[in-house]
Amino acid sequence: MRPDLSITPLTLASLKTHYQSGDFTPADLMAALREKCAQYQDHNIWIHLLTEAEQQPYLAALADKSPDDLPLYGIPFAIKDNIDLAAIPTTAACPDFSRVPAQHAFVVDLLIKAGAIPVGKTNLDQFATGLNGTRSPE
């Protein structure tokens, strides 16, 4: 069953409790998040929102685990688009700069090994120059 994101707190403790009690699964949460994120497409939040197929390997890695096995089991996280997620383009908000990394950035790899699931790559000012995010390539 998909969680109601308007009333379900997305805290570590709350998600662990919901997973342990079987209220919903990480796949259910990711589906609800993809649906919610799609509602804000015109806000230029995401440079690349992962599809269900792109999230599948991360969900499959949790199949034989439980919330007690991994400290970040089923916890969603976003990645700024100047940090690598394997097989997903990294653009630093400049489409002409786009490249597809073969491996995750070290910190992303640590999060995934701890059970976290990437939601997507978030927008930023081109090349992370520190402006305010209002100029988007999308």
pLDDT at 138 > cutoff 80? no
**Helical pair 52-60 and 26-38, crossing angle rounded to 10 deg:** 160
Paired tokens of 129: 């120059």
Q: What share of the chain is helix, strand, coil (3-state, %, to 5)?
A: 35, 15, 50
- Per-residue pLDDT of 104-125, as tens digits, reads 999 999 999 999 999 999 998 7
pLDDT value at residue 137: 57
Higher per-residue confidence, 130 vs 74: 74
pLDDT at 56 over 60: yes
- Residue 74: per-residue pLDDT: 98
Strands 46-49 and 76-80: unpaired
- Rounded average pLDDT over 43-47: 92
Cα distances (angstroms) measured from residue 74 to each of 28, 41, 62, 90, 125: 10, 24, 8, 23, 29
pLDDT band at residue 135 using 50, 70 and 90 as cut-offs: low
Please give the average per-residue pLDDT across 58-87, as a whole number.
97
Give the predicted TM-score (pTM) of the model: 0.90
Most confident of 1-10, 15-24, 89-98: 15-24
